[in-house]
Amino acid sequence: MTRDEFRRRTYTFNTLEAFAPLREELLALLNRLFPEEGMLLFVAVNEAVNNALFHGRRNGVLHLVTLIVEWTDADVLVVVRDQGPGFPQSPKEFLLHEALALKESGRGLHIMAHCADEVTFSAAGNEVTLRKRRSST
């Protein structure tokens, strides 16, 4: 295994049931990378996965969700991508409206923004990248 392969994990799934067995492995990896804050990033990743699974449908059919974890000594990037049509409105606009954070649906973006150092979205709105900086120890 090369150094680059060791620093990148890719998961694909298309249902919550298929994601369930990957959760423990993912949580263990994030806890190893962030001994004190792994769970916090895991919460953000879980929200992104839920959004992909529940909103990433095209014509009512969910295709694959891809989750990529890449890490360096400086930071960890987690990409969650689905094959759906993306957000009906700009996710950045959505994050600006604090009142939306109190609604039953829509809190996931706010949770991601709170738990990760940086949250970016693809232009299509069907991919989110979470970035968390690692402390220099």
| pLDDT digit string, tens, across residues 71-82 | 998 899 999 999
Separation between Cα atoms, residue 129 and residue 17, nearest integer Å: 23
Rounded Cα gap, residues 72 and 77, in angstroms = 9
Domains and CATH numbers, the chain: 3-133 (3.30.565.10)
pLDDT in tens, 97-126: 555 555 555 677 878 888 999 999 888 888
Residue 68 is classified by DSSP as E
Which residue's entry shows tokens 């990433």? 56
The answer to whether the pTM exceeds 0.85 is no
Cβ–Cβ < 8 Å for 10, 65: no
